[in-house]
Amino acid sequence: MTEKERKATLVKAVKAAYPKAGCSLKHRGVWQLLCATILSAQCTDERVNLTTPSLFKAYPSPKDLGNAGQEDVEKLIRSCGFYKNKAKSLIAASKIIAEKFKGRVPKTMEELTALPGVARKTANVVLGTGYGINDGIVVDTHVSRLSNRLGLTKNTEPEKIEKDLMRIVPREEWTDFSHQLIAHGRAVCQARAPKCAECPFSSFCPSAL
């Protein structure tokens, strides 16, 4: 089996193992997804899901959050870490969405990454999960770790990893593939103690051989 064939086989195996994998951030609508993703930076999705209900109850729309006071938002999201910067980003991004985009989160990478607190990873989450647009592949800590362990890339920089994955994974599967890798990273290929004996991909994985 060539390296190209190994990678293609591995991608198919990941898809087959986690057919129902999806976004674990709880949200209603694209704006809530954007806010939750901003909050998820260096924070667990579980913690974000505990935090967002009170945030969205207090500020149910982009206009509401865009007009919110910094300290008021900080109190609601403090447990997510880096709460001062995140509150600033949430307020500023929501204000732009309310005023410039009439309350609708934009649908292009360029417009999204121009929003405060939104880098490429967050934009990929919004486009892929929120709008079903496969413009790129989300590379979080799980995807980064697993892509290297599984021999899908030798790069460590997120954008370089993303480019490598985009060459391997069919475009229509980009969003799903990141969800599938994240699910595998949480369940089996954990950072400190990967469960290689339980891994369905061990025969294709150079780290397990």
Q: Which residue ranges form the domains of the chain, and what is each CATH number?
A: 3-22+137-198 (1.10.1670.10), 30-131 (1.10.340.30)
pLDDT one-digit tens code per residue, 17-58: 999 999 999 999 999 999 999 999 999 999 999 999 999 999
Structure tokens given for 190:
């954990």
Instruction: Please give the Cα distance from 137 to 103 (Å, whole number).
Output: 26
CA distance 158 to 154: 11
Any idea what DSSP says for residue 46? Answer: H
pLDDT tens string 65-121? 999 999 999 999 999 999 999 999 999 999 999 999 999 999 999 999 999 999 999
Residues with catalytic roles: 121, 140
